[in-house]
């Protein structure tokens, strides 16, 4: 904070005393302003210096970069499967202060399903300070009839009963969910699932206390099962997920929360681009926070493909390779040892990746290319994933 105040004071004096200088270059000035402290007063104060500063700090692209530069989760949820059970734990990566205790991040004692011994709460995701859980049968693949929207910081939870038309057990279909909060009091739950060669979606609103209508779209498949990807991103008012099992071509599912439109969209990349991938992740690294796709290789090389709409709109959008991120060089890893390198998760809304290496587990900000070690060793003895949790009004999000 003291450094940011000094930087701001020096910059103001420099602008007043020199009419022509390197700081007059917008790109350089923007890089300086990005490093202001993520306090509510920082950008408003900077906007009062002059018209140029005001234009830069109010630009949507600058604000997105400012949030990405300062974004840091309060902690991470760790999900793993141990002896047939699905475990969920939490670890702080930021100082929570005295007001938030670790005990708040234990799943509240709410009964799941018909019996505590037969069902468990399964993690579906977290966003905007809320965690979404669903009860699932431990002896099969069917889901139960309850969902939990949980606010750990406020020690609040909201139990939802799945209505009859979402009979996951009968269809034995996969279901994925996302929680979205418009304010600290209201939230929505967007569910997507597949059954009978169709993808379906439905939204619950805490304002109405009810589920909306089910919307559906046909999913053409060649053979096998259709799988809806777990990881999702939110671009504008739409939620995107990858679809697997349709054929050799990559597809994704787009659900517009405003228009309630559900669509299957083809990702027209050559199949050899992702033929031997080690992970496909949707992100918002495209210009202006648009939709993009990361294709991971075994040597921690990430190809970033960006969707660029043509003049006809998103229906004829093209995907272009923008850059390649060499994570092994970024993290100064020794050549070889690919078995010690694994992606544990990608938070696409804020473009953060969690990478397990022989040096520990790193949290990498893909936009700023900054990183920090959050674990000295991999916390999983087998397969597991990491999911960052941030409060609704965390620094840099307002």
pLDDT digits (tens, 9 = 90+) for 156-175: 999 988 776 666 555 555 78
Q: Give 1's pLDDT tier (boundaries 50, 70, 90).
A: very low
Q: What is the largest CA-CA distance in the chain?
A: 74
The mean pLDDT value for 276-302 works out to: 91
Q: What is the pLDDT of residue 31?
A: 85
d(CA 42, CA 35): 10
d(CA 215, CA 310): 27
Contacts for 305 with CB less than 8 Å, ≥ 6 apart: 269, 273, 292, 293, 294, 295, 319, 320, 321, 322
d(CA 337, CA 223): 36
The mean pLDDT value for 131-139 works out to: 77
d(CA 236, CA 258): 10
Q: What is the pLDDT of residue 394?
A: 42
Q: Give 261's pLDDT tier (boundaries 50, 70, 90).
A: very high
Q: What is the pLDDT of residue 310?
A: 64
As to burial, measured by CB atoms within 10 angstroms (0-12 exposed, 13-18 middle, 19+ buried), residue 230 is middle
> Which comes out higher in pLDDT, residue 251 or 60?
251
d(CA 261, CA 213): 11
Q: Give 291's pLDDT tier (boundaries 50, 70, 90).
A: very high
Least confident of 67-76, 320-329, 339-348: 67-76
313: pLDDT strictly greater than 60: no
As to burial, measured by CB atoms within 10 angstroms (0-12 exposed, 13-18 middle, 19+ buried), residue 383 is exposed
d(CA 393, CA 72): 12
- The CA dihedral of 312, 317, 320, 326, to the nearest 10 degrees, is 140
Nearest to 100 by CA among 155, 153, 175: 153
The per-residue pLDDT of the chain, averaged, comes to 82
Report the run of H or E that residue 14 belongs to, with start and end. helix 2-17
383: pLDDT strictly greater than 90: no
C-alpha angle 44-46-49 in degrees, rounded to nearest 5 = 115
Nearest to 378 by CA among 341, 329, 336: 341
CB 205 within 8 A of CB 185: no
Least confident of 79-88, 98-107, 285-294: 79-88
Q: What is the pLDDT of residue 119?
A: 66
């Amino acid at each position: 904070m003291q450094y940011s105040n000094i930087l701001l004071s020096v910059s103001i004096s420099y602008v007043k005393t020199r009419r022509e200088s390197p700081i007059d270059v917008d790109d350089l000035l923007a890089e300086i302003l990005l490093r202001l402290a993520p306090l509510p007063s920082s950008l408003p104060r900077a906007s009062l210096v002059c018209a140029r500063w005001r234009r830069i700090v109010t630009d949507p692209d600058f604000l997105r970069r400012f949030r990405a530069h300062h974004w840091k989760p309060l902690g991470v949820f760790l999900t793993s499967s141990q002896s047939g059970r699905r475990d969920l734990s939490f670890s702080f990566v930021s100082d929570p202060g005295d007001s938030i205790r670790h005990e708040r991040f234990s799943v509240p004692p709410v009964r799941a399903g018909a019996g505590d011994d037969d069902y468990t709460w399964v993690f579906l995701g977290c966003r905007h300070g809320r965690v979404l859980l669903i009860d699932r049968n431990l002896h099969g693949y069917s889901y139960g009839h309850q969902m939990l929207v949980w606010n750990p910081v406020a020690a609040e939870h909201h139990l939802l009963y799945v209505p009859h038309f979402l009979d996951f057990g009968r269809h034995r279909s996969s279901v994925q969910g996302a929680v979205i909060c418009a304010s600290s009091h209201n939230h929505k739950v967007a569910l997507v699932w597949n059954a009978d060669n169709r993808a379906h979606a439905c939204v619950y609103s805490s304002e109405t206390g009810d589920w909306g209508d089910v919307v559906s779209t046909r999913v053409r498949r060649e053979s096998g099962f259709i799988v809806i990807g777990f990881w999702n991103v939110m671009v504008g008012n739409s939620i995107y997920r990858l679809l697997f099992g349709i054929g050799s071509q990559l597809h994704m599912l787009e659900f517009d929360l405003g228009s309630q439109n559900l669509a299957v969209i083809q990702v027209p990349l050559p199949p050899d681009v992702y033929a031997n991938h080690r992970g496909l992740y949707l992100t918002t690294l495209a210009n202006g926070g648009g939709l993009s796709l990361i294709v991971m290789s075994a040597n921690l090389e990430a190809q970033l493909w960006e969707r660029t709409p043509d003049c006809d709109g998103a229906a004829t959008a093209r995907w272009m390779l923008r850059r390649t991120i060499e994570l092994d060089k970024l993290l100064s890893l020794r050549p070889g040892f690919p078995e010690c390198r694994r992606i544990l998760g990608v938070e696409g809304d804020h473009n953060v990746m969690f990478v397990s290496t022989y040096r520990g587990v790193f949290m990498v900000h893909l936009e700023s290319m900054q990183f920090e070690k959050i674990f000295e060793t991999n916390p999983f003895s087998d397969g597991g994933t990491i999911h960052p949790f941030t409060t609704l009004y965390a620094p840099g999000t307002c």
